[in-house]
Structure 1
Amino acid sequence: MADDEQDPSDFEEMLRRMMSGGGIDPEALRDALSGASGMPVDPAQMSGFMAQLQGMFNADPWQSARQQALHIANRDGLGIAGGARSSLVDAFGLANLWLGEATTISELASSPQAMTRGEWVEKTLPVWQEIADPVATSIADALTGALETQVPPEMQQMVQGAGQLMRGLGSSLFAAQFGQVLGRLSLEVVSGGDVGIPVLSAGTAALIPQNIADFGEGLEVPEDQITLYLAVRELAYARLYRHAKWLHLHVLSQITEYARGVTVDFAALEDLASRLDPSDPAELRAAIEGGALLPTQTESQRESLVRLENLIATIDGWVDVVTEQATARLPDGERLAEAARRRRAVGGPAEDALGALVGLKLRPRRLREASAMWRAVTDAVGVAARDALWDYPDIMPLASDIDDPSALIARLEAVQRGEQPATDELDEALARLLDGEEFGDEDSGGEESGGEESGDERPEGDRPV
């Protein structure tokens, strides 16, 4: 073997030490990579690469994401001016009084908060982590798979023990991008309910004073009106989630059901790796943040997304109607309501980036239809009967009610008149089951079991499920 050729065992030994958790000599790694590629490797560049690599392996990826997000969130200061805090206290106090006239759902047990951007990051990170973890895992698994397909056959046994290390690397890459996106999102959100999902604990209401001015940009509405409107809207969200204790888990379970189906496009990952310049990771960062590694949605994911969009639209529609009623005396209430609807429908740049990163864009595309449904229900049966639909998960409006609320309204009006709602075949079958009867009792034995009128003659698809 010529002197300038690299012994393959040197490279293999370096990888073995890395996979087993041992230290790596940067000079040995440089020589190994140089020999494997046939190109010289800059020592300074290698030292920087090694520092980053060791940091990825040793650090908690989500702690790193938190630090990245806080660095961006706190860049314009850590505190809230005393005047802004005082104004929020006054706004929340008046908002509570107005909401008392618009909904029967009771006040919060804890006082609303004025949050800094950094506090919003700290408080909401556990929920974002729950949403993003399945995607991070998918990327980490894809990196492990890519490693197994790229190494020579004689190194396959060694690579099989590298799963934990590669998963750590994939999680670190993803978390670093996620932290930056979350930090940028903290510069846009104005409240706990601004992104449409419960990122704060149930019953917590909060506004971010640093971002309120940006919400009203171009509206030419006094800031005290903007603050009051946002306070009413945020309290409506928080009251709803505190009242319907099941709703928080219901929304998050729908999101995680969708996220668990997210997988990385392995072909896209291999294509990216084939042209990636290690000295310039910008393309890799852009691919992760832009969602280029996430494949087209599956049919199951599309169905999950439709259910989630309907649920979020139902929640946002109720909040819209309650806020509209509560702020009826606010001079610019209608303009602010329209601005809030546009904001939820379009979103901001950071929300777009977050959606691409986890493959999920939380836009209530049926918000106007859902709001119209809640207005119709309110006009027909009043505030108390409307709000009672949030008492239990099995009586809340369905997607079909958003399409046409007439059946829902007819049922609620019948209940108000003291009438029993009409039962369907499923209700009757369930009642018989609860009474201890067998589904086929009415058709078994005697003369009824044999004629053309027998229930068994119905097509399979017409039988109760």
Structure 2
Amino acid sequence: MADLPFGFSSGDDPERDKRKDPDSGSGQDPFGFGGGEFDLSQLGQIFTRLGEMFSGAGGAMATGKQSGPVNYDLARQLASSSIGFVAPIPESTSSAIADAVRLAETWLDGATAIPAGTTKAVAWTPTDWIDNTLGTWKRLCDPVAEQISTVWASALPEEAKSMAGPLLSMMTQMGGMAFGSQLGQALGKLSREVLTSTDIGLPLGPKGVAALLPEAIESLAEGLEQPRSEVITFLAAREAAHHRLFSHVPWLASQLLNAVESFARGMKIDMSGIEEFAAGFNPASLTDPSQMEQLLNQGIFEPKATPEQTAALERLETLLALIEGWVQTVVAEALGERIPGTSALSEMLRRRRATGGPAEQTFATLVGLELRPRKMREAAELWEKLTQAAGMDARDRVWQHPDLLPDSDDLDEPAAFIDRIIGGDTSGLDTALEEALADLEKEVEVGDAAEDSADSGDAADSGDEDSGDGSGESKS
């Protein structure tokens, strides 16, 4: 992975030993407080310098509003600035893309039992792409940024924690601006390179909206032998096929995004990076807002792989490969005889994904995850063989429940999986249904118990009231 998220370091830093003070030992406190007793006057100096920074920073780094661990307003501003002037998309281009999507949907009807999922076909500028996908990027980036922002509190010495409220607030705001700056630059670059709203395999845009980006498609087509009309129709078919899955497989989009979130939340931070950073930290550097981003880019936070991350990564990679393989299979079947260049275009995109194109590299930078479905070819072969052996309807019924999908081992050895489908083996679904019913029964039992308890309480209250009334009548 060439780039790492929000200043993460790969660990290979020849300058680290030079920065680290060999005499400081492990007692060096974060933020340059020193290895001895904590001097509260130093904390006051930092407060003063941070206050000066926020009062006089000016410019884009201080103008964006912030809510949460990332300053998304700043990200939006910087992304737009990096894009620059965007010419409106001609009506003829928008019409051509809408026609291509409609044609692709018609052809896909004969290649899959899953119905059309697009409700609208649009042509997006890079700015449109940012506006329509930023909400999903927030969901993907927040877990990583939250992990990093909480490290500051744990890094403070005990003597400072009681006074650290203002400092942590300021550091969080600075981190949010730094993250927003990095996100804005990355999205600005990515917005000019993605071809469709589902280009990286995730549902980034609105549900049911098939979106193609003419500017990026034009750049791609310049280096290909196929006519532009065929390239557009091919990409429209891929976009439409993705939306069929995302619209009619209700659990799919949430499973994908949850896997990304699980990966990010499973990240553990190596605190040794902070200790090394503290050895040469100068609070005066905080008077320049750009220094915060520079410090993050030095790699003071080093993520460690955890078992939870490994499991989430395997689930995500397998699911992405299954989606990509299925899309490739149905698009090839729908367009193969109609567009001669379909096979060459599919191979070009497969290599683009497998080698980590611009989209994958940017995603790795933002989320810390290499979004590469490593078994795309195996997944496509499995779907093709399953179609030949069991037919289109049986193939598409596999998407009814996540437990019916092939796993990573099935991609390596598809024969057993295909035999299970031909034999009507739905044990995975049966198990899932049994577990769901058991959970439902537990919920009902808990609800009944609570209701009985409430009824008993009402009866007791009623008895007390009756007793009180009787007593009153007796006295009268």
TM-score bracket, normalised by the shorter chain, equals 0.7 to 0.9
Larger deviation, residues 182-191 vs 76-85: 76-85
- Aligned-pair identity (%): 34
Identify if the C-alpha distance between structure 1 residues 51 and 361 changes in structure 2 by more than 3 Å, giving closer, same or farther. same
- Find the residue that maps to 1:237 and give its secondary structure: helix
Query: Given the alignment, which residue of 56, 60, 66 partners 2:76?
Result: 66
Partner-residue secondary structure (3-state), 1:158: coil
- Which of 135, 155, 168 is 1:163 aligned to? 168
Map 1:2-401; keep pairs closer than 5 Å.
Answer: 24=51, 26=52, 50-51=57-58, 55=62, 59-60=66-67, 61-73=71-83, 75-108=84-117, 110-146=119-155, 148-149=156-157, 153=159, 156-272=161-277, 274-275=279-280, 278=285, 285=293, 288=296, 293-328=301-336, 329-349=338-358, 351-401=360-410
CA RMSD of aligned residues (A): 3.4
Change (3 A) 1:94 1:230: same
Deviation at 1:104, TM superposition (A): 1.4
SS at match of 1:202: coil
Any idea what the Cα deviations from partners look like across 1:60-81, whole Å, max 9, x if unmatched? 41111122222224x2414212
Secondary structure of residue in 1 paired with 2:205: coil
* Residues 53 and 273 (structure 1), Cα distance of their counterparts in 2 relative to 1, 3 Å cut: farther
Q: Does the Cα contact within 8 Å between 2:237 and 2:331 map onto a contact in 1?
A: yes
Q: Indicate how the Cα distance of structure 1 residues 172 and 376 shifts in structure 2: closer, same or farther if over 3 A, else same.
A: same
Aligned partners of 1:289, 1:179: CA distance in 2, in Å?
15
Secondary structure of 1:205's aligned partner = strand
* Residues 321/156 of structure 1: CA separation in 2 closer, same or farther (3 Å cut): closer
Displacement of 1:300 after TM fit?
A: 2.5
Q: Is contact 2:318-2:373 (8 Å) kept?
A: yes
Pairwise CA distance, 1:256 = 0.6
Measured after TM superposition, the shift of residue 413 of structure 1 is: 2.1
Distance in 1 separating the partners of 2:172 and 2:154 = 10
SS at match of 1:113: strand
TM-score scaled by length of structure 2: 0.73
Distance across 1 between alignment mates of 2:180 and 2:94:
33
Deviations 1:276-333 (A, max 9, x none): 7838887864674696733232232122111110111011110010111111120211
Distance in 1 (CA, whole Å) between partners of 2:427 and 2:357 is 46
Q: Which runs of 5+ in 2 are unaligned?
A: 1-38, 439-476
Taking CA–CA contacts closer than 8 Å with sequence separation of 6 or more, which of the two structures ends up with the larger relative contact order?
A: 2
Letter matched to residue 207 of structure 2: A
- Is the CA contact 1:191–1:234 (under 8 Å) kept in the aligned structure 2? yes
Range that drifts further, 231-240 or 286-295: 286-295
| Local SS of the residue matching 1:188 | coil
Query: In the alignment, is the contact (CA less than 8 A) between 2:101 and 2:236 conserved in 1?
Result: yes
* 1:406 shift after superposition: 1.8
The letter for the 2-side match of 1:87 is: A
TM-fit CA distance, 1:139:
1.9
Residues 321/289 of structure 1: CA separation in 2 closer, same or farther (3 Å cut): farther
Farther-moved stretch of structure 1 (329-338 vs 229-238): 329-338
Alpha-carbon distance in structure 2 between the residues aligned to 1:285 and 1:325:
48
Would the alpha carbon gap of residues 53 and 139 (structure 1) be closer, same or farther in structure 2, given more than 3 Å must change?
A: farther
User: Is contact 2:200–2:359 with CA below 8 Å preserved after alignment?
Assistant: no
Aligned to 1:442: none
Offset at 1:132? 0.8
Q: Which amino acid aligns with 1:370?
A: A
1:336-357 deviations in Å (ceiling 9; x for gaps): 1111101111233453143033
Gap runs ≥5 in structure 1: 1-7, 27-45, 416-420, 435-465
SS of residue in 2 equivalent to 1:397 = coil
**Residue correspondences, number:** 391
Letter paired with 2:340: P
Between stretches 64-73 and 360-369, larger displacement belongs to: 64-73
Is contact 2:61–2:74 with CA below 8 Å preserved after alignment? no
